[in-house]
A and B are shown apart, each in its own frame.
Chain A
Amino acid sequence: MEPESSSESPQVRRGRLAPLLLAAFGLFTAGSLAIETAQTARQMPVADYVTAFESRVRPLRDRMPAKGPVRFLETPGEPAPPGRPSDFLHFLMIQYSIAPALLVVEAPADTAVWWGGYGSLPPGPAVLEGWEPQEDTGEPGLRLLARKRVSP
């Protein structure tokens, strides 16, 4: 009795190569990437940046009025295109953190969030013009402001 393989057509024998090739490719890519990931995982930050920032914004969000948009104020930085704040990333992060409240750059609002960067000093008089600082939540660089009421 002849061995089974000798009765196989060349196409069938060639066909056996395909799964071998694919398994080798799959194991090589997955294996090398797993090694690379294991090496870089040690340097990855433990805390998630967005979650950490959200927890800083939460005390402000809890004190915001239920209705109306919230104005974004910042210590003037690099010039930005019209309608776009200088620190656009932190504008987006604050918007994400306070959703569904609406964060606006120029539209009128009775409440504002001031962002001055990490560990910055309290908002200066230029920023505060027309605004009144609310309770300090102890988060450096973040402050809730309310529109100053003008007596009639």
Chain B
Amino acid sequence: MTAMLLPALLLPVWIGREAVTPLGLRQRDAFALTFGTLAGFGLVSILYFLWRISGGPADWTYAGFELLAAVSLTAMNRFRPKAESSGEATPATEPAASAPLWLKAAAVLVILLTIWNLWIWFAPSIHGSLDSWVMWNQKARFLYLSGADWAAKYSQVHPMTQIDYPLLYPSLQARLWTYAGETVPARFAGILLQYGGVLAVTFAVLSRLARREGLSWLPWAGLLLVLPPPAARQVASQLADTPVAIFAAAALAVLCLHDRLEIPRNRALVLAGFFAGCAAWTKNEGKAFLLIIVLVAAASAARNGGVRKAVRPAIRLLAGAAPALLAIVTLALVIPVTNDLVQAASRPGRLGRVLTDAGRYGFLVQAFVRRIAQYSWGVPWFAAAAVWLAPVRRKAPLEGIAVPVLMLGAYFGAYLVSPWDLDWHTVTSLDRLLLQVWPASLVLALSCASGAGEESPHA
């Protein structure tokens, strides 16, 4: 069974590698490998869903389909005119000064202790929390075990199980079972993949910055702060918020730091759009993220060059998100269900009533401020202190501030119209939502820290 899972893990690496090569990640380093692998998992999730929705069987013929996709992408890259690659930035290759050994040892120890904690939390609930098996694992079972009538059947499942949610996470799980030939209880591997994904994206971005700008402790700081054990508890719950966080961090890093990450701007926009699309294909909050990132990029371009300039970045981002949008639209067509929050908001008179209820605003402001300040034992304060203590501080990218702030605004709006008891709703979900934006916010905050000798002093 393990041998069968090997191609399930290697094919996304291959597909992703070939998919991101034309998008400015042609180097063979850890950064390109991490972002390529992430893109690969996003792509195979979309491929698997489209395969199943078009009546493809959940057996080894699907592996042949993926292999074909990988070979086709490789062939396209081989025969692509070389001229396209001219003008791309060459990455800095000089090795940077190494971080202190004790810092690396502390980060490794924290990671090992977190994995141990994850295992202990996982053992008594191997199917995840209630929301996980009801909303995500059950979708994966229907997707894998049903025949061609999957959509017709699944659209009748009890609506309280949120059947409108997008399917990146269940598709990946069902795909794994397709390779294994059974619904293997390999869920701890899934938890490790999620945890590893957050660490890898954070480390990859910050180590490329550190290599260029000489602040050797930066990537290790990212590892220590991105998912401290209290926040990692969400990973053990097997919910889809961690994948959203991974894709959001990748999208925002590529969008805001492309020049420092040595990715050409136009291609960075497509790549950022692809990752934002994957976030949208993971959860409804990801759809808000995609919309916000497109609007912010367009507004930023308009600010610098007029309204006409706003269209191009928006089109590039949407072009990158096209594969995920195809999956989202297909799902909406075959399972046309309205979300419970939208249903609640569209009840006659309700929207006006909740929007003018000052008590709801006051309650939510308090809840947001308290939860953000106390998030994972106050980790935002330590991130801020790390940036403040850095030898040189850079100006934060405006887009990088706007997107997380607008995401918090979107969460606030969703709570405002929520049909559920606000206290219960915020207590049970606000930390999960903060997790979605935390890695992206952390990476962008730490990117403001630079090494000594940096040419642009802090603003």
Taking beta carbons and an 8 Å cutoff, which residues of A are in contact with B?
9, 11-12, 14-15, 17-19, 21-23, 25-27, 29-31, 33-34, 37-38, 41, 44-51, 69, 84, 88-89, 91-92, 95-96, 99-100, 102-105, 107
Contact = CB atoms under 8 A, between A and B. Distances in A.
Contacts of A92: 130, 134, 158, 161
A46 B114 CA distance: 20
A105 B138 contact: no
Nearest to B111: A30
A11 B134 contact: no
Contacts of A48: 123-127
B452 interface: yes
17 contacts: A9-B452, A18-B389, A21-B389, A23-B107, A26-B107, A27-B110, A29-B230, A29-B377, A33-B113, A33-B230, A34-B113, A34-B117, A84-B158, A95-B158, A96-B137, A99-B138, A100-B153
Contacts, number: 145
A151 B4 CA distance: 52
Main secondary structure of the interface of B (DSSP, over half): helix
Contact of B114 (A15, A19, A30): A30
Interface stretch (B219-227, B245-253, B297-305, B365-373): B219-227
A104 B156 contact: yes
Given A11-B452, A48-B126, A21 B386 contact: yes
A25 B156 contact: no
Interface in B148-163: 150, 153, 156-158, 160-161
Nearest to B152: A102
Contact of B386 (A22, A46, A51): A22
B391 A50 contact: no
Given A22-B224, A51-B127, A31 B100 contact: no
A14 to B, nearest CB: 5
Nearest to B106: A23
Contact of A50 (B99, B127, B452): B127
Nearest to B112: A30
B124 to A, nearest CB: 5
A34 B124 contact: no
A50 B129 CA distance: 10
A104 B161 CA distance: 13
B175 to A, nearest CB: 16
Nearest to A50: B127
B122 to A, nearest CB: 9
B229 interface: yes
Contact of A30 (B113, B142, B390): B113
A15 B452 contact: yes
Given A45-B124, A51-B126, A18 B385 contact: yes
B133 interface: yes
Given A22-B217, A29-B377, A48-B123, 16 more contacts: A9-B391, A9-B452, A15-B215, A22-B103, A26-B110, A26-B225, A29-B230, A29-B376, A30-B228, A37-B117, A47-B124, A84-B160, A95-B161, A96-B133, A100-B141, A105-B158
A33 B112 CA distance: 12
Nearest to A46: B124
Contacts of A26: 106-107, 110, 224-225, 228
B106 A34 contact: no
Contacts of B386: 18, 21-22
B382 interface: yes
Nearest to B142: A100
Contacts of B113: 30-31, 33-34
A91 B229 contact: no
Contacts of B92: none
B107 A44 contact: no
Given A12-B391, A14-B389, A48-B125, A23 B120 contact: no
A103 B161 CA distance: 12
Contacts of B138: 95-96, 99
B117 A25 contact: no
Contacts of B134: 92, 96
A50 B220 CA distance: 38
Contact of A23 (B102, B137, B141): B102
A49 to B, nearest CB: 7
A17 B110 contact: no
B266 interface: no
Contacts of A12: 391, 452
Contacts of A38: 120
Given A9-B452, A14-B389, A95-B157, A19 B125 contact: no
Contact of B153 (A14, A46, A102): A102
